Amino acid sequence: MSRIPSKTRQRVEQNTTEWVGINRVICGDSREVLQRIRPDSIALSVWSPPYFVGKSYERHLSYEDWEALLRDVIAQHTRILRPGAFMAVNIADILCYPDTSIPRFQAENVVSKNRLPVTREAILKILERQPSLNRYEIAERLGVSEQTVDRRLKNNNIRGGKHSPQTRVKLTGHLVEDFAYRSGLYLYDRRVWAKDPAWENSRWHSNSYRAVDEFEHIYIFWKPGITKVDRARLSREEWSRWGSRAVWHFPSVRTNDDHEAKFPSELPRRLVRLLTEPGDVVLDPFAGSGTALVTAIELGRAFLGVELQPTYAALAHRACMKATQSMAHGLWTNPARSG
């Protein structure tokens, strides 16, 4: 049996495959849908993957599943990005998830910070008078849990409770860069999105030394090819204010009323304006509520979105249709004019 040359095989594939159209939101798994996108057709892919932090839409994923999802979606971009195009990935700098293989964090209790006014000395005094008492009996007398008694006696506090596994903290940037590099995409740049502090977004402090979440990364990868660099896409003031700056300052979404994890429209707006031309195709393979797609429409770009959850896919579709109609009736003021 004779073998078909690889270039001929590619031509046959392109002639027989029914490629998905643009300006639509597709409900499905990105790993499958991206295989049906025409090769070399995407000018910019801008997206934020599941962060593996326990959101409802990602609870079915193990850590290994999450890594595989990220790796496979990135690998598909090598084929669908046009030469010289970009993939921009917005992701938190760390993951935090339970891991039973590492030791629990132990912290010495500071009495002034204890929520319960029970000291180690108070427990020891009870034991002096009645040494036969166990910690359950002591806890009953003091009106606290036996776990509190145990912590005071051992002079430590196990983060998350003694029956909870320790939290694994893992860096994400090297994973994304490694998956992209293996796929033939190269890190071109990175931006830091400095958002409002977490406590301004209905969250709170803890007594831990861990920092409050205040920033995320945007990693920009390049597919080899000729890239058009046009400074006229931004005004001179925009170039100096954010176009050439490594740190971008704008607030996060304060009310996630229809989706658990929205990013603000300012994030894709800057990337679309900086890296594409009007008429280019912008892809979001984790479309969510459709923020990046709506932004592309408002800036005169074509769009293509993929979303696994039917509820969110329908939400993104409605948002895109509304934006398209507003553009068609001249109801939208071009954000490019507002800087």
Q: The CATH number of the domain where 329 resides is what?
A: 3.40.50.150
What distance lies between CA 204 and its chain's CA centroid?
20
38 lies in the same domain as 150: no
| Interatomic CA distance for residues 211 and 198, integer angstroms | 10
182 lies in the same domain as 286: yes
| Interatomic CA distance for residues 193 and 132, integer angstroms | 58
Kindly report the pTM of this predicted structure.
0.75
210 lies in the same domain as 302: yes
178 lies in the same domain as 206: yes
127 lies in the same domain as 266: no
Report if residue 164 sits inside a domain: no
| Interatomic CA distance for residues 123 and 129, integer angstroms | 10
82 lies in the same domain as 124: no
Last residue of a domain, one of 133, 158, 183: 158
Report if residue 219 sits inside a domain: yes
| Interatomic CA distance for residues 218 and 194, integer angstroms | 11
Residue with tokens 């939208």: 332
How many degrees, rounded to 5, is the angle at CA 202 between CA 157 and CA 314?
A: 120
pLDDT in tens, 184-221: 999 999 999 998 765 444 444 555 677 777 899 999 99
Residue 256: which pLDDT band, with cuts at 50, 70 and 90?
A: low
pLDDT in tens, 80-134: 999 999 999 999 888 777 777 887 766 665 544 445 567 888 888 888 888 888 8
* Residue 35 pLDDT: 97
Structural domain tally of the chain?
2
Q: Which tokens in the block code for residue 250?
A: 């704008």
Phi then psi for residue 225, to 5 deg, are: 155, 175
135 lies in the same domain as 251: no
256 lies in the same domain as 298: yes
pLDDT in tens, 118-131: 788 888 888 888 88
Of all residues in the chain, the percent with pLDDT exceeding 90 is 50
Q: How many CB atoms lie within 10 A of CB 112?
A: 5
229 lies in the same domain as 141: no
* Residue 12 pLDDT: 46
Q: Quote the domain boundaries for residue 114.
A: 106-158
Report if residue 269 sits inside a domain: yes
Q: What is the average pLDDT across 171-178?
A: 93
* Residue 258 pLDDT: 57
